[in-house]
Amino acid sequence: MAKIWEMLDAAYVLINSGFLPQARSIIEKILCLDPQNIEVWEAYLNTFEYASDLETAKEMVNLLWDKKVKDDYLDANRKYVLRRINERMSGL
């Protein structure tokens, strides 16, 4: 399997080329491997064009944290990612 940074580079190329669903697919695979990677979450948020679609991102955060994250002190990373989603929603 490709390294996370290689996958993220490929996703950024797709984002910059306007292939947002394809980039999102790659990023979701990365997030399953490394759900607390804030840089990857930031890239993920850039694959959404509409605020209403970002509700999907919130669901993804909660699903991954509930299933995969064991050591997020005070849920700090989850709260940060959810706050960034809300900020992005208000900006669209």
Averages of pLDDT over runs of 10 residues in the chain (92 residues) are 90 98 97 94 95 91 90 88 95 84
How many CA atoms within 13 Å lie on the side-chain side of 66? Answer: 6
4-91, CATH topology level? 1.25.40
Residue 11's alpha-carbon distances to 14, 24, 28, 32, 67, in angstroms, are 5, 7, 10, 15, 24
At residue 89, the pLDDT reads: 93
Residue 24: which of 56, 69, 63 has the closest Cα?
Answer: 56
At residue 1, the pLDDT reads: 61
Residue 75: alpha-carbon gap to chain centroid: 16
| Phi, psi angle pair for 35, to nearest 5° | -70, -15
At residue 59, the pLDDT reads: 93
Q: Where are the domains of the chain?
A: 4-91
As given in the structure block, the two tokens for residue 86 are 């809300």
Which H helix or E strand runs over 30? helix 20-33
pTM value surpassing 0.85: yes
